[in-house]
Structure 1
């Protein structure tokens, strides 16, 4: 982290000199504040999003800055909100007048009034986001840190500037942000704030699901998502929007036989996936891969605990969960649903007597998502027994080798039917009808079973024989 005496050096750039000069010309002191300051102090990149708070009109300063900066600059003014944005190169600079806020109990939309820098820092969510650095004459490069945010940065703490219960009750989205920052930065939420999160968790109901999911997906995209997921569970926040996850919690014992706690197992799976891919939707598949287990759990003396069909049931739950959470109901949802449904398929082709047909069907059904599916399946190995883990991973090596062999021979990963419907109609001089689909299905099954190779000539010959078998007459 930057030393306090070195703080001024990262504002020693032309962009900040221009902003400060423009603000001085308008006699409106201004400060760079929030995430840009925090991340620069933590050496987390140079930052492309810059927030500038102005004691006066943020819009007026933004207009002056847009004219003063060299080159073409894009100015956007949001008069209703009293804000403006200047895009300069790869930078996006937001200007806003200093404000103070008050809240009603039934809304997160504040009553906003003009305020001082102190008022503006008071309304910030966390001490590490209330750090400001002067850009105006006489204060240029000076750190203004009324809540010891610099110390909290050094100690790795998430703390609210004011009393946390009030902070979270006023704007409950801050609760999700607390967990998000703790996860992204690997910081600790202080005890007082943790207690406030738990006491105010139900206030999340006044926040739109879209905004909750925006924060949640940032947690899911972190290097170790389980940190945030565990915090959401412990504070009661997870229960507010994803109660299905809580149903996975706990271990049941019958006649001395127990099953694993599928909640904590799921968090491990998501972390394992995070080491392999940044794709948040693969992580979502990991999060939901066992979601059907609570409703399929059964115990029998003969085999113990079973969860038969949990993948199928879980896949049926995915669209309902996505719809409720206002997540995209498009190919992203279908991708997650597909991986949940197929999450036990690869292990079925491990045994030595598994046929090439089973491997072909796996490749055919998974298509281009086979690599993501294998990441999920291998991440699902959370045993703490080194010998078992090694054996399970070796099993998946067997699966991968079998897939390579079959794929090289049959090219099924991105399979396209070798015979089109038009070719079938032309071959038998017929109009569209159910027979065409029946012949195409028969060709696909013959290829998957290995009766014919995935080649046009063989498929054409099979098509003719199948059509004749169905009573169709080939064209002369």
Structure 2
């Protein structure tokens, strides 16, 4: 049992004892029960009760010395963070939704009404913490056993009230490898257009969490099946279009295979997102000339498109930089691996890519898809050989964090020249000799070279910069 699991068990015992002393009934509900039945760790506890949950949370926190709770009065909820375990207290409630909003009007309810308003049957299970009785009016335990996503009420009502549940259900299906029931899937499709009323932030959160699944292609296939993909990621949906009858690689299928490949190699969401978006520039750059298909400069078009996608997904500046850069560079490892470049060429590539080399090679490996196992094996071997050479060069030169060992002040002092473009030319000249392996990048060696070749370097620098 993990530390957080032990902590959660202790907190539940404390909540039960506190409620019992006050003569109140409290229920454990939702994801904690679901994950426990799935034998998955969970650090979030949801407690609900028919009495005033805000007052209960305030009194519980005070009695146990946990510090003040954070209150969300409109929904009748309060949050405590106890040693890394998030505990939410909520008053049982029923909800009704205006037609053009997913913000509900809330009223107090019974525990049975509270369970009925929940998104899916697997989350509509409650346990009386005082008696241990389980309330499962919608057969959530059976659905967990059968690995099915299903709504407690009519799917159209569930998704019309809160269309974000469409994305949540698809995310759960991907995360747990569950099947969405036919009736629920049909309801998602009928209500998909209502995703337009959901805020961009909430959609972005769900999409990024889908990328955390071990096989996120399941999520994007479901998004496509219910008509939601073109609403949330039209750039990916466009990959399904066939712009030619030429038997070229199916872009959508290839993209999802690349995504799943990447997920087997990294947990990084930005790298996984780059895998999902790496070919989105191809539909705009498709050309068929003399029976040959090309996507000239699609990586640059894709880079610009991906920047806008990252903005919609509210990615931070560093994650956006990584995603777009990987897309711009994603063809380079394959080209280099086929060309078998010189060490000099590889040094330039190493310096250009810098700290992004590992995720770039991860994407390059993920991008190798084919129905021909031999072709996959040969492509992987070429990338492996390229990485081996890069590792060896890095070991010798440590170029990933390359910095010339001397600066402009040393150049001016040794050559006896004032600040000018000649200083910059000389630094570039030194850098080139280091990159070519003709000079070690050590201060004493570079200074010695400048001193020994002072007249020639001064003459060359003046002639080069005019």
Determine if the TM-score, normalized by the shorter chain, exceeds 0.5. yes
Distance 2:458 2:169 in 1: 65
Matched, 1:170 2:161: yes
Distance 1:67 1:241 in 2: 44
**Equivalent position to 2:86, from 84, 88, 92:** 92
Which residue pairs with 2:45 in the alignment?
50
Which residue pairs with 2:184 in the alignment?
193
Q: Name whichever of 151-160 and 383-392 sits farther off.
A: 383-392
Contact 2:167–2:206 (Cα < 8 Å) also in 1: yes
1:80: Cα distance to partner?
4.3
SS of the equivalent of 1:471 reads helix
Contact 2:258–2:369 (Cα < 8 Å) also in 1: yes
1:110: Cα distance to partner?
0.4
Distance 1:182 1:355 in 2: 48
1:72: Cα distance to partner?
4.5
Contact 1:74–1:87 (Cα < 8 Å) also in 2: no
1:200: Cα distance to partner?
1.3
1:49: Cα distance to partner?
0.9
**Equivalent position to 2:315, from 315, 323, 327:** 327
Matched, 1:222 2:213: yes
Change (3 A) 1:169 1:386: same
Matched, 1:30 2:26: yes
Structure 2 spans left out of the alignment, 5+ residues: 1-5
Distance 1:11 1:149 in 2: 26
SS of the equivalent of 2:99 reads coil
Matched, 1:59 2:54: yes
SS of the equivalent of 1:305 reads strand
Q: Name whichever of 193-202 and 319-328 sits farther off.
A: 319-328
Distance 1:80 1:432 in 2: 66
Where in structure 2 are the equivalents of 1:427-446 lying within 5 Å? Answer: 427=414, 434-446=421-433
Where in structure 2 are the equivalents of 1:65-464 lying within 5 Å? Answer: 65-69=60-64, 72-73=66-67, 75-136=69-130, 140-254=131-245, 257-301=246-290, 304-328=292-316, 330-351=317-338, 354-427=341-414, 434-457=421-444, 459-460=446-447, 461=449
Q: How many residues are aligned here?
A: 454
Which residue pairs with 1:4 in the alignment?
none
Structure 1 spans left out of the alignment, 5+ residues: 1-9
Change (3 A) 1:446 1:13: closer
SS of the equivalent of 2:239 reads coil
SS of the equivalent of 1:354 reads coil
Contact 1:297–1:306 (Cα < 8 Å) also in 2: yes
TM-score by length of 2: 0.90
TM-score by length of 1: 0.89
SS of the equivalent of 2:288 reads strand
Change (3 A) 1:278 1:437: same
| CA RMSD in angstroms, aligned pairs only | 2.4
SS of the equivalent of 1:160 reads coil
Contact 2:58–2:68 (Cα < 8 Å) also in 1: no
